[in-house]
Amino acid sequence: MTAILPPEALARAFALARSGPRRLLGLAGPPGAGKSTVCAALLQALGPLAAAVPMDGFHLAQSALERLGRAQRKGAPDTFDSAGYVALLRRLHTPVAGETVYAPEFRRAIEEPIAGAIAIAPGVPLVITEGNYLLMDEQDAPGTHWHAVHALLDEVWYVDMDDRLRIERLTRRHELHGRSPQAARDWVAQVDEPNARRIAATRGRADWVLRWG
């Protein structure tokens, strides 16, 4: 079932889509806040006016994370190809006439990114991108490229949800993807929530806060 978005969210999205040849909307927020759900609802409402490129497509492959010793904190800022994500946003922000842009997609069934799985047609006026780290600056994640993201987005919304409900949803998600209840709780406490606190500190940089759930 598609989420029902508040009228202001729809009005803002339609205004962006109709305001120029190409606009980029970012949906930021902590793990489990419902960014993907909001994105899906916007895509359904906007139809051919919008397409989506999730940040999750830039997860490093599991083999790379293991080689780097980062597999046990997958989802942290330095477990993504942040430079590649920024490069993609630059291409989308300044499109070449007639050029389709291909982007990677993260497949949860295999927990791996798949290159070139998403096609963004040249005439799409609004590209929505959602992810945890869209509002970070250089001090938040040194050695990464997240600080360059905000300037490439025309508007960024912070998707906010009651922490208790968000953690419950996040724990269930991990269980659905194969973790035992205890392993899911441990992953949320040890990996997701430290990241969530870092993301929450960026909330004040958003153009608008979408509180729901």
How many CA atoms are closer than 13 Å to the CA of 82, on its beta-carbon side? 23
Predicted TM-score (pTM) of the model is: 0.93
**pLDDT by residue (tens digit) across 168-203?**
998 998 898 888 999 999 888 988 898 899 999 999
In a domain, residue 188? The reply is: no
Using alpha carbons only, what angle is made at residue 6 by residues 5 and 12, rounded to the nearest 5 degrees? 95
Beta strands in 108-154 (DSSP E): 112-120, 126-131
How many distinct structural domains can be found in the chain? 1
Residue 213 is predicted with a pLDDT of 67
In a domain, residue 178? The reply is: no
Q: Which residue range(s) make up the domain with 16?
A: 7-162+206-211
- Greatest alpha-carbon span in the chain: 51
In a domain, residue 179? The reply is: no
In a domain, residue 183? The reply is: no
Instruction: Say which amino acid occupies 66.
Output: E
Instruction: Say which amino acid occupies 94.
Output: T
In a domain, residue 197? The reply is: no
Residue 111 is predicted with a pLDDT of 84
Taking the C-alpha atoms of residue 20 and residue 1, their distance in angstroms, rounded to an integer, is: 31
Name which of 120, 119, 126 is nearest 24 in CA terms: 126
pLDDT in tens, the chain (213 residues): 467 899 999 999 999 999 988 999 999 999 999 999 999 999 999 999 999 999 999 999 999 999 999 998 888 899 999 999 999 999 999 999 999 999 999 998 888 999 999 999 999 999 999 999 999 998 888 889 999 999 999 999 999 999 999 999 989 988 988 889 999 998 889 888 988 999 999 999 999 999 976
Residue 2 is predicted with a pLDDT of 63
In a domain, residue 157? The reply is: yes
Taking the C-alpha atoms of residue 138 and residue 146, their distance in angstroms, rounded to an integer, is: 7
In a domain, residue 186? The reply is: no
Q: Is the separation of the CB atoms in 74 and 191 below 8 Å?
A: yes
Residue 187 is predicted with a pLDDT of 86
In a domain, residue 61? The reply is: yes
Taking the C-alpha atoms of residue 128 and residue 27, their distance in angstroms, rounded to an integer, is: 7
Residue 49 is predicted with a pLDDT of 97
